[in-house]
Copies of this chain bind each other. A is one copy, B any other.
Amino acid sequence: MQADHERFIHETINLAEAAVAHGNEPFGSLLVKNGDVLLRVENTVYTGNDMTNHAEMNLVREALKQYDPAFLTDCTLYTSTEPCAMCAGAIYWSGIGRVVYGCTEQRLGEIAGIGLDVPCRTIFASGARKVDVVGPVCDLDAEKIHLSYWLRRSQ
């Protein structure tokens, strides 16, 4: 199980690198069910000209087009960085049952100086529906892209 988590988190880090190569911010997410990857999604805030186009938000919208909430209950959203409050809320409303994240949002905030520093567990704990959370996973690997991306932006 932990080996699966590490493998999928590394895949989200690859997606985050692809997002930067495509002109966006360094975030990527996967939707996984029974070990199969159903969706691979990148951040598109700049190419989509919409600052709410976070990887997780994009994934939730695509998942809701393709699957119903009952199906999503048994799915896991893997994401390179802990979901922000907006994305945690979107995951809550979507019916997705579990989140596994790379580095914490707090660490992103320390590096980037932006963000909403509310742990996703706090958002989920305030709701009527249970969402399981695992993380951080491979956080030192997950934070590397932030160290390079946000440092370059601030120069």
Residues of chain A at the chain B interface (Cβ within 8 Å): 49-52, 54, 57, 60-61, 64-65, 69, 84-90, 92-95, 109, 113-118, 122-123, 126-128
B51 and A64 contacting across the interface, CB-CB below 8 Å: yes
Given A116-B127, A118-B122, A118-B123, A51 contacting B93 (CB threshold 8 A): yes
* A122: B residues at CB distance < 8 A: 118
Cα-based distance from A60 to B65 in the complex (angstroms): 20
Cα-based distance from A72 to B25 in the complex (angstroms): 22
* A127: B residues at CB distance < 8 A: 115-117
Cα-based distance from A49 to B68 in the complex (angstroms): 10
Q: Within the complex, which residue of B84, B89, B113 is in contact with A87, where a contact is CB–CB below 8 Å?
A: B89
* A117: B residues at CB distance < 8 A: 126-127
CB distance from A104 to the nearest CB of B (A): 13
Cα-based distance from A92 to B114 in the complex (angstroms): 11
**Considering only CB atoms, which chain B residue lies closest to A91 in the complex?**
B86
CB distance from A72 to the nearest CB of B (A): 10
**Considering only CB atoms, which chain B residue lies closest to A92 in the complex?**
B116
Q: Within the complex, which residue of B51, B64, B65, B89 is in contact with A86, where a contact is CB–CB below 8 Å?
A: B89
**Considering only CB atoms, which chain B residue lies closest to A85 in the complex?**
B89
Cα-based distance from A131 to B90 in the complex (angstroms): 21
* A115: B residues at CB distance < 8 A: 127-128
